[in-house]
Structure 1
Amino acid sequence: MDREEIEDVLPHRPPMLLIDDCELVDGRALGHAHVAGDEFFVQGHFPGNPVVPGVILCEMLAQNCCVLLAQGGAPRDATPYYTSLDKVRFKHPVRPGDTVELTCEVTRSRGMFHFAHGVAKVGQDVCCVADMSFALVSEKD
């Protein structure tokens, strides 16, 4: 799924739409986010030593996961809201020029709440791991 197709299932739009592509394979979302270096989040983080902020890596994982939730039968009018981040670990910096490989899988669901695990890598380097949860909230609520 390319960026245009992602926009069909996620409410995010530039500059906050962070993932470039995503495919669903064996119940997992496999996505990519290329960091060119001109993004708003690296311009001042840090001058002379640009690094993608950890919170942005978590958002990349969340968006990748939400594609999985949307394709898994979520109501079309549902907005995914982050409800928790747990066991987040940052292990390697992500810099301009890197392409982040995102892998997410839903570990359990209960009603409108969905729990997932995600890993962000650049090449063989694990950059971020996180357990996340989301609430899918209908606009009608």
Structure 2
Amino acid sequence: MDQQEQASGDTGGTRIEAFDIARIMQAIPHRYPMLLVDRMVEVVLGESAVGIKNVTANENFFQGHFPSHPVMPGVLIVEAMAQTSGVLVVETLGESARGRLVYFMSIENAKFRRPVVPGDQLRITVTKERQRGNVWKFACVARVDGATVAEATVTAMIVGA
């Protein structure tokens, strides 16, 4: 896949325009059914990222949540935020992050504005608030058709050899 990378004049970070599931799976260890990011549409190394989750009726969690009124569980929306953040961390650190894991440390101020249902496309924006050593903190917002459906602040730690 072609990857367009360019220096970002206003942010100082390197901007990666888009990449697919194969590169996401190189960055983070999650696999079906727990891989909740389908595509990265923008990454500004060290600063922010936008990930996409296409929500389909075939998702396994809809069998029990809820069969007659399928709703994506809020904890999975937050997990998708964390995975998008993890991809940003690994892409930012590059080779030094290969083979390492990114673990959740905290979730703060999680708010859910409206249900996410089959057919929705989550657009997850994560913005680094700070980084100290191997601990990163992100402001996260998930939107569907431009409307905010969830938001949270997540803190994660990158660990491993």
Distance 2:152 2:99 in 1: 26
Match of 2:89 among 69, 75, 100: 69
Q: Deviations over 1:62-110 (max 9, x none)?
A: 1111111011115212200001000000001100010000100111011
* Residue identity opposite 2:153 in structure 1: D
User: Which has the larger displacement, 26-35 or 106-115?
Assistant: 26-35
Distance 2:118 2:68 in 1: 12
**How much does 1:39 deviate?**
0.9
Distance 2:23 2:100 in 1: 17
Q: Which has the higher helix share?
A: 2
**Structure 2: where are the runs of 5+ without partners?**
1-18
Kindly indicate whether the alpha-carbon contact (under 8 Å) linking 1:37 and 1:43 is maintained by their aligned counterparts in 2.
Answer: no
Match of 2:76 in 1: 56
**How much does 1:43 deviate?**
1.5
Match of 1:3 among 21, 29, 48: 21
How many pairs does the alignment contain? 139
Question: Compared with structure 1, are the counterparts of its residues 135 and 3 closer, same or farther at alpha carbon in structure 2 (3 Å cutoff)?
Answer: same
Match of 2:112 in 1: 90
**Structure 1: where are the runs of 5+ without partners?**
none
Match of 1:107 among 114, 121, 129: 129
**How much does 1:25 deviate?**
3.9
Q: Which has the higher contact order (CA 8 A, sep 6+)?
A: 1
* Residue identity opposite 1:129 in structure 2: E
**TM-score of the superposition, structure 1-length normalised?**
0.94
CA RMSD of superposed structures (Å): 1.2
Kindly indicate whether the alpha-carbon contact (under 8 Å) linking 1:92 and 1:125 is maintained by their aligned counterparts in 2.
Answer: no
* Residue identity opposite 1:44 in structure 2: G
Match of 1:37 in 2: 57
Displacement over 2 Å in runs of 4+: none
Match of 2:43 in 1: 24
Match of 1:122 among 144, 149, 153: 144
**How much does 1:14 deviate?**
1.1
